[in-house]
Structure 1
Amino acid sequence: MSIFTTKGGQVYQLHQLTATVNLYDAPTGDRLATQGAAGRFLWVSALESERTYVQLAEDDYWGWLDQGDYRHLTPATEPYQPIARDRAYIEAVLEDVIAFCLAAQEAPHEYLWGGTVAPNYDCSGLMQASFASQGIWLPRDAYQQEAFATPLGSNSIAETLPQLQRGDLVFFGSREKATHVGLYLGQGQYIHSSGKEYGRNGIGIDTLFPSEDPVSIAYQRQFRGGGRIEYSYLPLTPHP
């Protein structure tokens, strides 16, 4: 039995991915928006000739799927069932979340905008993948993760540091919006995937403490605050 839902007068069918696919932020396919790993669920309307606008079920994230990847879609026979995770569960697996990030750092990789699947990640993609490895879903982008997390501190590092615990998120960006995120390791250190402009073109560990390292300094200037993950994201998309 196929699974369908209706949104805005449009009928969507639930599919499951049989391989990793790329989703783009425009129908032209010029820039990667996110990736869907094998096994993830996807809401799909009628497939178009070149690219189709689809929605990942686990985090409600939209993107354009290339025609060449339609072969990796198979109609789901059972509804996607999100699993609620509370803070007690999250605390029990935080060391495994951190271990995922550290292992990703050790594998050959580089920074990939939109990357959520090994080996190449962007900042929020690494956070999402590390928590998802333990069955905890986060929203996709850094600003969405900041809004989802319980706030800790402010744009003052001195105010925020005493409130941070190992496994919390730390956010960076402009006054208006978070554009970068890392995972706090304790002792002022955090692990993150950063690009070439300010970062290391990949996953590295930096500090919130005073430093002479140019990457740490660059992100300290963009610091926005911390956030604690108290529960797993539950999708807004209506499920039959």
Structure 2
Amino acid sequence: MPQSPLSQSPGPQSPDSLLTAAEYRCRRTLNLYKTPDLDGLVTQAAAGRHLRIQVSPPSEASARALSVQLCEDGYPGWIGLRQMSALAPAPEPYRPVALDRSAIVERLPQVIAFAQAAMAQANVYLWGGTVGPNFDCSGLMQTAFASAGIRLPRDSYQQEAFTQPIGWDELEPGDLVFFGTPERTTHVGLYLGHGTYLHSSGKEQGRNGIGLDSLTDLSDPVSQAYYQQRRRPGRVMASYHPAVA
């Protein structure tokens, strides 16, 4: 029986030696990148998360990086071959938990508490950040919900598509609020009540990190900037279950 490459030396190996459709767990936080040159952070995988290595024919790219897909949200990215030492064979496949709306509601106080605790730490906006203390907007939402055992898709436009549309007058604490252009969602925040939402905002909008803004008091320029980009609110009705190839 061939030995798993992750039980051997942690040095660089050819993807040819990897097991097709094998599933692994992260021993520590891993950064996933947009390209095999490891340019452009797209997401992070905290210790304990599951991923699959996408085996493909040998190429120049596969000689220096691995194409992977996270199991919890189906998100793709690239990791360097040297990061293989941070992976261990999963003792069992990832199995998503089914949660209905009543179970979601019970867990929303924990989601809000996580987001508020993240805001209390020193932080800056980090494109691709999902582990903390530095997050991007959708990474903060995904991780806050995951802290309560609720899975969300990775990107803000995916989160919008996953949530149930509701009216602005129907907002309740724990709902998501989406911003962007008429064509596409580009930003998301967590509604706390009384017109206030929490989000991780980039400095191009006037802040660099997690803060509070208002849908009703527009005296702050950041609140006003985002108010002009409103799309719709959304309600999380279930825990996300991706179709992972």
Counterpart Cα distance in 1 of 2:227 and 2:53: 41
Counterpart Cα distance in 1 of 2:26 and 2:73: 15
Residue 106 in structure 1 maps to residue 113 in structure 2: no
What secondary structure does 1:54 align onto?
A: strand
What corresponds to 1:45 in structure 2? 54
What corresponds to 1:157 in structure 2? none
What secondary structure does 2:203 align onto?
A: coil
What secondary structure does 1:234 align onto?
A: coil
Counterpart Cα distance in 1 of 2:206 and 2:177: 15
Which residue, out of 38, 51, 55, partners 1:29? 38
Residue identity in the other structure for 1:231: A
Query: Could you tell me whether the CA contact under 8 Å between 2:156 and 2:178 is conserved in 1?
Result: yes
What secondary structure does 1:171 align onto?
A: strand
Moved over 6 A (4+): none
What corresponds to 1:7 in structure 2? none
Counterpart Cα distance in 2 of 1:46 and 1:191: 39
Counterpart Cα distance in 2 of 1:95 and 1:143: 24
Which residue, out of 148, 154, 165, partners 1:151? 165
Query: Could you tell me whether the CA contact under 8 Å between 2:104 and 2:237 is conserved in 1?
Result: yes
Residue 18 in structure 1 maps to residue 27 in structure 2: yes
What secondary structure does 1:143 align onto?
A: helix
Counterpart Cα distance in 2 of 1:30 and 1:65: 10
Counterpart Cα distance in 2 of 1:217 and 1:67: 45
Residue identity in the other structure for 2:221: P
Residue 93 in structure 1 maps to residue 140 in structure 2: no
Counterpart Cα distance in 2 of 1:150 and 1:179: 18
What corresponds to 1:181 in structure 2? 188
Name the one with the larger strand percent.
Answer: 1
Counterpart Cα distance in 2 of 1:235 and 1:86: 16
Counterpart Cα distance in 2 of 1:204 and 1:119: 13
Query: Could you tell me whether the CA contact under 8 Å between 2:55 and 2:67 is conserved in 1?
Result: no
Which residue, out of 70, 79, 83, partners 1:69? 83
What secondary structure does 2:21 align onto?
A: strand
Residue 46 of structure 1 deviates from its aligned partner by 4.3
Counterpart Cα distance in 2 of 1:34 and 1:87: 27
Unaligned runs of 5+ in 1: 4-9, 154-159
Residue 124 in structure 1 maps to residue 133 in structure 2: no
How many pairs were matched up? 225
Counterpart Cα distance in 2 of 1:199 and 1:113: 16
Counterpart Cα distance in 2 of 1:93 and 1:196: 31
Residue 81 of structure 1 deviates from its aligned partner by 1.1
Counterpart Cα distance in 2 of 1:168 and 1:199: 24
Residue 68 of structure 1 deviates from its aligned partner by 2.4
Residue 80 of structure 1 deviates from its aligned partner by 1.1
Identity of aligned residues (%): 53
What is the TM-score of this pair, normalised by structure 2?
0.88
What secondary structure does 1:104 align onto?
A: helix
What is the TM-score of this pair, normalised by structure 1?
0.90
Residue 194 in structure 1 maps to residue 201 in structure 2: yes
